[in-house]
Amino acid sequence: MTAYKTIAEFSDLSPEQFFEEIAPAQKPVVIRGFAKNWPLVAAAKHSPKDFVTYLNQFYTGKKTKMVVAPPAANKRFYYNDDMTDVNYVSGEERVDLFLGRLLELMDREVYPAISMQNTLTSEILPGLVSKNRSELFPELEPRLWIGNEGIVSAHYDGSDNVACVVAGRRRFVLFPPEQTCNLYPGPLNFTPAGAPTSLVDLNSPDFVRYPLFKTALSEAYSVELGPGDGIFIPMLWWHHIESLAKVNALVNYWWNGSSAPDSVSPSPIDSLNLALLAMRDLSPKQRDAWRCMFDHYLFHQGSDPTSHPKAYIPEHQLHILGDLSPEYVKSIKDYFIKKLQK
């Protein structure tokens, strides 16, 4: 049995403490009681039926995205056996019909894994957020995820993320970004749910095929959350999530990154794809040389051309290394649009 590391826990975090101390440190933390006063959480704690009834009072009748994995998938939303497709089907369905189906499946011994994913509450359940508002994110619209027992393999997001369990229980296993090389990431551009996913089955790892995963496990963190509990998952931290009850729900807030509503374009993930395209034919020695350039200009290893008192380039000549006006950003984007069209 894996001896996971423990995630630091807090309760009653103020917005100032979270955004000035916790988030800048880029380490995961558990926020117990994040949504303890929400009526949505109270309904879920009473019974799954009350939880469904509470949601339906806000429902507009619009459809949203649903996914279904057959019993043979063992609750895991993933690739099929030969990685030519995924092992689930997706489509759109009415939320009230989906929630009714969720309750029906509770009495079955064999059942598919079903999930309503990444739903914007303002479009489907207007009024829900105003009755269940976060002190940390009073103006940020959350996403809603509802389903039965299911497994989402380790993946990362391009934004900082606070996820809060509002019904059921969920287990989180987190890996720091420096373990990426030991997690055997799958394709960048063909993924089960939009983000690159580890090819290792956490619950049944094949250490012959994936020997470096043992190192990743030695650096992994784990926690189980119940209704009202939240977790801060920093950008690029890998997270494996298991829903442990037949009625589970989670809301999450993305901000400050490529998944956020106001994310910049191009995103860091876009830049990674462009770098792979631009440098794919370089020799190992040439890639090592470019690593030095990225370390200097982007990651500021050693001398820093931009930060005082170490800055050594005059501020008026920093150009893309310095503060950028909207007009200058547009000129850079226009340059690359023309460049990529050649």
| pLDDT by 10s per residue, the chain, length 342 | 778 999 999 998 999 999 999 999 999 999 999 999 999 999 999 999 999 999 999 999 999 999 999 999 999 999 999 999 999 999 999 999 999 999 999 999 999 999 999 999 998 999 999 999 999 999 999 999 999 999 999 999 999 999 999 999 999 999 999 999 999 999 988 899 888 899 999 999 999 999 999 999 999 999 999 999 999 999 999 999 999 999 999 999 999 876 666 666 777 788 888 888 888 998 999 988 888 888 887 887 766 666 656 666 677 777 777 788 888 888 888 887 887 887
Q: CA–CA separation, 305 vs 29, rounded Å?
A: 34
Residue 307: the pLDDT is 65
Residue 147: the pLDDT is 97
Residue 292: the pLDDT is 87
Q: CA–CA separation, 29 vs 24, rounded Å?
A: 12
Beta strands in 46-200 (DSSP E): 63-69, 76-77, 89-94, 113-120, 143-147, 150-155, 160-167, 170-175
Q: Which CATH architecture has domain 8-255?
A: Sandwich (2.60)
Q: CA–CA separation, 157 vs 161, rounded Å?
A: 8
State the DSSP H helix or E strand holding residue 96, giving kind and residue range, or none if neither.
helix 95-105
State the DSSP H helix or E strand holding residue 239, giving kind and residue range, or none if neither.
strand 238-243
* Bond preceding residue 266 cis, omega within 30 of 0: yes
Residue 174: the pLDDT is 98
How does pLDDT run across 7-59, given as a tens digit for each residue? 999 998 999 999 999 999 999 999 999 999 999 999 999 999 999 999 999 99
Residue 303: the pLDDT is 66
Nearest CA among 163, 165, 172, 161 for reference residue 228:
165
Residue 258: the pLDDT is 67
Domain positions in the chain are 8-255, 282-340
Residue 116: the pLDDT is 95
Residue 321: the pLDDT is 76
* DSSP string for residues in 263-316: --SS-HHHHHHHHHHHHTTS-HHHHHHHHHHHHHHTT--SS-SSSTTT--S-GG
